Amino acid sequence: MKEYDHKKIEKKWQILWEKKGIYHAQNKSKKKKYYSLIEFPYPSGDGMHVGHIRSNTAMDIISRKRRMEGFNVLYPIGWDAFGLPTENYAIKTGKQPAVITKKNTDTFRRQLQSIGFSFDWSREINTTDPKYYKWTQWIFLQFLKKGLAYKAKMTINWCPKDKIGLANEEVINGCCERCGTTVEQREKEQWMLAITKYADRLYEDLDDVDYLPQIKLGQRNWIGKSEGAEIEFKISSPIPGMGEKVKVFTTRPDTIFGATYLVLAPEHQLVQKLKSQIPNWKEVEKYIEETKSKTEIDRKIEDKIKTGVELKGIKAINPATKEEISVWIADYVLSTYGTGAIMAVPAHDERDFAFAKKYNLEIKNVIEPIFVNNPKEDLHFVEREAIHAIVKHWTEEKYLALKWKKVDWLTFVTGGVESGENTKDAAIREIQEETGYQNIKLIKELPRSHSKFYHEPKKENRFAHFSNFYFQLINDEQKELSQEEKEIHELRWMTIEDLEKEMTIGGALRDLENLQGKEKFYLGNGIVTNSGRFDGQDSEKAKKEIVKFVGGKIKTTFKLRDWIFSRQRYWGEPIPVIHCEDCGMVPVPEKDLPVELPKVKNYQPTDSGESPLANIAKWVNVKCPKCKGKANRETDTMPNWAGSSWYYLRYTDPKNKKEFANKKNLKYWTPVDWYNGGNEHTTLHLLYSRFWHKFLYDLKLVPTNEPYMKRTSHGMILGGGGVKMSKSLGNVINPDDIVKTYGADTLRLYEMFMGPFNQSVAWSEEAIIGPRRFLERVWKIGKQVAEPDTFTQSLGPSLRSATPSQKHTGSAMSVSKLLNKTIKKVTEDIEEMRFNTAVSTMMILVNEMDKNEVSIKDFKKFLQILAPFAPHITEELWGVLGEKKTIHLSEWPKWDKNFIQDEEIKIAVQINGKVKAEIMILLDEDEESIKKKVFANETVLKQIAGKEIKKVFYVKNRLLNIVL
């Protein structure tokens, strides 16, 4: 076997590895543990998608590297097999879901094994296995015990086609996520999980984990935490003592003096209570009816047009101003959020503003914007230059602001000078010089915690005194405003953010016309006005006191709702509950778990909205565990999110019959160190499993507060032309074909090489040949290195001609150097998931090795860094080179620092920023001697002839720029 034949070596090694169990994780080990996780696949009938391979390969590379770094690695695999696709297929074909699942998982297993992933197959799990879902049901019972699982009458989203209740998150634009049918509203008893009880922890604990920023943001947005206040408004009544009260929730209590009317959600119960006092009740009732019949789609079409009806005869008292204000109902106020009622402040809220405009309600301004610098990290608030930079960037605008607004002081935030300097004096002097204002007073130094924000951690030690200050500039040169300035004055309604965007230096006046067209409401913070004794205060700081003043309560509200946990379908975990005529709802005793799914003939859901399980009398009719009387089983099943909410825990002890996992194993393996998965699961699945984990943590059943230490996500693989792969388009790539023609190693390498891991990339049938050629070259060099003498003769005629007649000799050193650089780059790139550049770096090395003499030692090191990417070919060549033990448990190579930097390097010579020449210099050569070289260069001399050199910039070991 001389030529690279992937078919022979790949199968061989896959069998051998499994036989020796080299990828099996040990529950006890002297080594440090590492738990790497991928989302377990849903085994669909279509077989594996090339997208699965991308994610799996990435974590496989990381897992393999960790093993070589001496870790005891757990990289498990299983099947998330409950759910609709299988059930729908069962309905269509009449086959049993369990049978279909078995067939599909067999296919997936075979496919995954053919690609050489280093999964620990001994820990394979399946959510539809009664031995597994016994514990899903068990955990549910714990929720029930703690009162976190409950039944409630809910208007649910009902898909008339799938005949299934949908969670809010499964409704996309008012349509069913799966089939696209318009969703209806139905009232139904549903099982709920009280995830809202954990909302705050789910939000706050994100600080402690290493998720990609956008993932954290997604989680936070979904939870939707807002801190605000609940404030009571009295409803005035002609009959003394009959007055009602209404609570509103607001995040802006500081604007309460500007609350000029009150709006209730049409469903608000107070509306019905007040019925007798409302003279225009007919009109009101009509509006309520209209709202009820409105579907999500209708609301969408209406878009942002606000509608509402005034409750005539009803007035509320603004607790701040004590003035009477009108009361309205409008469907822009949601009954399900906050208290279902709001105080409307049209001057400082976009929706209230629109509503007030439409119905001609009073708009009362109570916040004046101020121009407070909102310094951003990127402005480099360090070093002396920082002050220059800030002042330079902001003074002009500040100065204008002073004139426009006729204010006599402004805040300035600045700070940060080198150690040993007096920061305050330096800052004040800078501002005096730059602004011309002499009358500057320091008002306030920000607390230490605040200044942390501006710190650059790497440079920390350089700045002993780092502070931020508010300065007061006294405007001692009040001028009359010119016409132009008066116009600018009108801008005060703009948000600070807008102003910051619009007013670049020198551009402030130019873009004026654009700005003046905008609507006049102001959302930002500022100075409180028109608010009695609070006038002049900073709005943010005034909040607390105003809440106190009106007798309100500080409150935090979340967008997150409780989780609708039941499905009226067959293919899910039965909810382990029995309904008894006498005892009511009785949990199935733990000893009777699992409640197994019965085999049925018909999986068609009932139109009544009940699960198909309801039709199986034999299964439904049971004795009550408590009184032994007549009772019925709960026929709802759990959603697919259930089994996947805790599967990573089961991997630590997959066969345990006594508990969901042994405590020792959990203690050793959790938390998951690195979890990679799709973007589509970064909100819900992650949130749900974090919730379950925290719940189990509270029961002291798991040792950590969070399940996953690190979470990353991969981009999708698209079909040619950048469209999604789908059966209907016929652009689905079958990995089996690729493995057959090119081999698993090539497929793995190609998927890593095709583009940045976190972005979606289009599959290219043509480009895959590149990685294949690369591996052929690796093979050829490997053979040459192994048998340098006999190699050329023993080759077939086709390969012999391919071998360069002469190898460059004496350049083993340069290959070694490049190898060391490559080891460094690959080592670092893998950690950052920059697999594409890791591969390209290895390609460069191989091209070089092909041209030059390579030592066995060097080649082996190269094989080791390639091994996680292409496990089969490297293992084979490793053996060919005389190694007896597997390459995959060998020690990850280190790079030699001394080898990495060249002694002689090429730098660019620029003239006015354009590259004109290149010269060779010694590493770290001193500037003077480089200049000598440069000014001896012909091209340079020609360019600078007769011109005056203004300045010369030298960037160490990089370039030299001559400014003329």
Partner RNA sequence: GCCCGAGUGGCGGAACCGGUAUACGCGCACGACUUAAAAUCGUGUCUCGCAAGGGAUGUGGGUUCGAUUCCCACCUCGGGCACCA
Q: Which is nearer to RNA, 19 or 950 (by Cβ)?
A: 950
What are the residues whose beta carbons fall under 8 Å from the beta carbon of 30, sequence distance 6 or more? none
The minimum distance between CB 329 and RNA, in angstroms, equals: 12
CA dist 614 and 621 (Å) reads 10
CA dist 517 and 495 (Å) reads 14
The minimum distance between CB 185 and RNA, in angstroms, equals: 14
Query: Between the CA atoms of 357, 359, 365 and 369, what dihedral angle is there, to the nearest 10 degrees?
Result: -30
The minimum distance between CB 148 and RNA, in angstroms, equals: 21
Residue whose structure tokens are 């005891």: 72
Q: What are phi and psi of 579, to 5 degrees?
A: -100, 120
Q: Which is nearer to RNA, 666 or 839 (by Cβ)?
A: 839
The minimum distance between CB 910 and RNA, in angstroms, equals: 6
Amino acid at the residue 490: E
The minimum distance between CB 741 and RNA, in angstroms, equals: 13
CA dist 958 and 889 (Å) reads 40
The minimum distance between CB 454 and RNA, in angstroms, equals: 14
Q: Which is nearer to RNA, 378 or 480 (by Cβ)?
A: 378
Q: Which is nearer to RNA, 848 or 858 (by Cβ)?
A: 848
The minimum distance between CB 717 and RNA, in angstroms, equals: 10
What are the residues whose beta carbons fall under 8 Å from the beta carbon of 609, sequence distance 6 or more? 158, 163, 165, 186, 188, 568
Amino acid at the residue 29: S
Among 255, 245, 252, 247, smallest CA distance to 230 is for: 247
CB 263, CB 354: distance < 8 Å: no
What are the residues whose beta carbons fall under 8 Å from the beta carbon of 861, sequence distance 6 or more? 819, 823, 893
The minimum distance between CB 801 and RNA, in angstroms, equals: 5
Q: Which is nearer to RNA, 765 or 789 (by Cβ)?
A: 765
Q: Which is nearer to RNA, 326 or 961 (by Cβ)?
A: 961
143: number of Cβ within 10 Å: 19
> Concatenated DSSP letters for 552-608?
-EEEEEES---EE--BS-SSSPBP-EEEETTTEEEEPPGGG---PPPP-S--PPPTT
Among 161, 43, 83, smallest CA distance to 638 is for: 83
Which token pair is 825?
């780059």
CA dist 170 and 652 (Å) reads 31
Q: What are phi and psi of 957, to 5 degrees?
A: 60, 20
Which token pair is 873?
């070919």
Residue whose structure tokens are 């050829």: 780
Which token pair is 341?
């009622």
The minimum distance between CB 715 and RNA, in angstroms, equals: 8
The minimum distance between CB 62 and RNA, in angstroms, equals: 18
The minimum distance between CB 232 and RNA, in angstroms, equals: 15
Q: Which is nearer to RNA, 542 or 578 (by Cβ)?
A: 542
Which token pair is 263?
């709006």
CB 86, CB 98: distance < 8 Å: no
Amino acid at the residue 325: I
H-helix or E-strand containing 445?
Answer: strand 440-445
876: number of Cβ within 10 Å: 24
Q: Which is nearer to RNA, 296 or 323 (by Cβ)?
A: 296
CA dist 633 and 580 (Å) reads 9
The minimum distance between CB 355 and RNA, in angstroms, equals: 9
The minimum distance between CB 853 and RNA, in angstroms, equals: 15
What are the residues whose beta carbons fall under 8 Å from the beta carbon of 461, sequence distance 6 or more? none
The minimum distance between CB 440 and RNA, in angstroms, equals: 24
Q: What angle do CA 418, 421, 425 make, to 5 degrees?
A: 120
Q: Which is nearer to RNA, 596 or 680 (by Cβ)?
A: 680
Q: Which is nearer to RNA, 605 or 677 (by Cβ)?
A: 677
Q: What angle do CA 606, 609, 613 make, to 5 degrees?
A: 55
CB 384, CB 418: distance < 8 Å: yes
The minimum distance between CB 836 and RNA, in angstroms, equals: 5
CB 868, CB 66: distance < 8 Å: no
CB 744, CB 769: distance < 8 Å: no
Which token pair is 100?
């279909």
Among 569, 567, 561, 572, smallest CA distance to 687 is for: 561
The minimum distance between CB 263 and RNA, in angstroms, equals: 8
Is residue 118 classed exposed, middle or buried when 0-12, 13-18 and 19+ CB atoms within 10 A define those classes? Answer: buried
Kindly calculate the radius of gyration of the chain based on its CA atoms and give it in whole angstroms: 35
The minimum distance between CB 332 and RNA, in angstroms, equals: 4
Q: Which is nearer to RNA, 614 or 845 (by Cβ)?
A: 845
Largest CA distance in the chain: 111
Q: Which is nearer to RNA, 672 or 940 (by Cβ)?
A: 940
Which of helix, strand or coil describes residue 277?
helix
Helix, strand, coil content of the chain in percent (nearest 5): 45, 20, 40
632: number of Cβ within 10 Å: 17
In total, the chain counts a number of residues equal to 964
Q: Which is nearer to RNA, 75 or 742 (by Cβ)?
A: 742
The minimum distance between CB 31 and RNA, in angstroms, equals: 32
